[in-house]
Amino acid sequence: MRWPFPRPRRGHLHRRGIAILCSGRAQGLGPGVEPRVIRWREAMPKGRAKGSISGVQRIVCSHTEIPEGFHLRSRLRLSPTPSLPPPAMSPTSDPLDAAVHALREATPPQPESVQQEVWRRIAHAEPTPSPSVLPWWRRLEAAFAHPAFATAFVAACLLLGLFLAEVRLNHLHRERTVSLERSYLQLIDPLLNATDLPRAQPALHRP
Amino acid sequence: MKRTVLTLSLGIVAGTLGHLGWFSTQRPEPIDSLETQLAWIRADLGLAPEQFSRIKQLHEQLEPRQLHLAAEVARLRAEFAAFERERVEAGEVDFLKVARAAADSRTLDMECNVSARQLVAAAANLMTAEQRRRYLEILAPALKDVDVDQTL
């Protein structure tokens, strides 16, 4: 039967396609690990994985979401193990098996260190963005992730608060000094602010 | 994100607490008594304990008279304000009352001058030359009509 769904493109999870995912326990595929294709069933819930071989699963996704408990380790197609015999074609076999078998045969043999190659390609395909291209909130988050920076920030806030308090106190002390001077002058001379009172001229009181 | 929000909140709380704590502990006392004024004079002039105690005693002796004079000044101020209101509203003024208030004002002015001169002279006599110079600088606005040198 013809492959009923679009085949996964290299480097992309395809809608209604095949994705090869590894569970959190698995570090990657080994030479003897055979990814198994889960038979497609129409009744299969969307995005659910079924079956497992040594922590490596091949699942059929009906959309691009990665199921819970899994993370994408490789968007690359994995080569089948050459030692495994091709699946026997029978009238009752699933069309997906035939498609995967064809895919295996079409894939060239990989070198011994598949894991290293896969990781190298992942690193090449998903380079870490440099901090300068990140938006400011991402950079802020990244900075606050460092305990030293977070501690320095809190200390700086504390010092800023103390500085502002000192500025306010300085202003308050200046105002208080002026008020003290004025009140003391009024104690010495009650007429100091009585501008509306007619005041005797000093010359009149000179002996 | 959670760590960022937590750190920002912690920084704001620390800054606010530091600000309020430092401000409340260092806040100066309100000016509400002669004690506060004398404490300021003492700090400003650098008075010795003996000088301060004698100057404090002097001020405490003369304070009632100064307060009485201040009350008289306030009474006369209110009286002149009433005259002005009457002049504006009624268009006439009792000149006898105004003349009496003006005479009282002149007498009060003289009393204030004499009292201020006595207080300043007595306090300045207890100070060193440098302290006296600074003290008279502070009192310059009040002493512009009082001949302190003559008293000293």
Structure tokens at A132: 């300068």
Average pLDDT over residues A153-167: 95
Residue B72's closest chain A neighbor by CA? A190
Q: Are residues B90 and B134 located together in one domain of the fold? A: yes
For residues A12 and A63, the answer to whether their CB atoms sit within 8 Å is no
CA-wise closest residue to B124 among B148, B107, B147:
B148
In the predicted model, is pLDDT for residue A167 greater than 80? yes
Q: A194: which chain B residues are within 8 Å (Cβ-Cβ)?
A: 73, 76-77
Average pLDDT over residues A149-159: 93
Backbone angles phi, psi at A83, to 5 degrees: -75, -20
Q: Are residues B17 and B65 located together in one domain of the fold? A: no
Q: What kind and span of H or E run contains A185?
A: helix A147-188
Q: Are residues B38 and B22 located together in one domain of the fold? A: no
pLDDT at A171: 93
Q: What is the mean pLDDT of chain A?
A: 62
Residue type, B33: S
More confident residue, A122 or A24: A122
Q: Is B117 helix (H, G, I), strand (E, B) or coil?
A: helix
Residue A159's closest chain B neighbor by CA? B15
Backbone angles phi, psi at A18, to 5 degrees: -115, 135
Q: Where are the domains positioned within chain A?
A: 1-127, 136-193
pLDDT at A91: 55
Q: A140: which chain B residues are within 8 Å (Cβ-Cβ)?
A: 4
CA atoms of B122 and B103, how far apart (whole Å): 29
Q: Is the Cα dihedral A195, A196, A202, A207 positive or negative?
A: negative
Q: Within chain B, what is the greatest distance between any pair of CA atoms?
A: 83
Q: Tell me the H-state helices in A48-146.
A: 95-106, 114-125, 136-144
Domain total for chain B?
A: 2
Q: Are residues B75 and B90 located together in one domain of the fold? A: yes
More confident residue, B81 or B33: B81
User: Helices B34-45 and B49-90: crossing angle, nearest 10°?
Assistant: 120
Q: A147: which chain B residues are within 8 Å (Cβ-Cβ)?
A: none
The residue segments making up the domain with residue B6 are 1-30
CA atoms of B57 and B62, how far apart (whole Å): 9
CA atoms of B146 and A136, how far apart (whole Å): 68
List A58's β-bridge partners, or say none.
A20
Q: Are residues B1 and B58 located together in one domain of the fold? A: no
Burial B48-81 (b: 16+ CB within 10 A, else e): eeebbebbbebbeebeeebeebbebbeebbebbe
pLDDT at A165: 95
Q: Are residues B5 and B21 located together in one domain of the fold? A: yes
A158/B81 Cβ within 8 A = no
Each residue of A67-82: pLDDT tens digit?
555 444 444 333 344 4
Each residue of A1-16: pLDDT tens digit?
444 444 443 333 333 4
Each residue of B7-37: pLDDT tens digit?
999 999 999 999 999 999 988 877 777 888 8
Average pLDDT over residues B53-65: 87
CA atoms of B36 and B43, how far apart (whole Å): 11
Q: Are residues B26 and B38 located together in one domain of the fold? A: no
Q: What kind and span of H or E run contains A21?
A: strand A18-23
Q: Are residues B52 and B25 located together in one domain of the fold? A: no
Q: Are residues B39 and B103 located together in one domain of the fold? A: yes
Residue A144 near chain B (CB below 8 Å)? yes
Residue A203 near chain B (CB below 8 Å)? no
Q: Are residues B58 and B85 located together in one domain of the fold? A: yes
In the predicted model, is pLDDT for residue B99 greater than 90? no
List A23's β-bridge partners, or say none.
A70
Q: Give residue A44's pLDDT band: very low, low, confident or very high (50, 70, 90).
A: very low
Model pTM score: 0.48
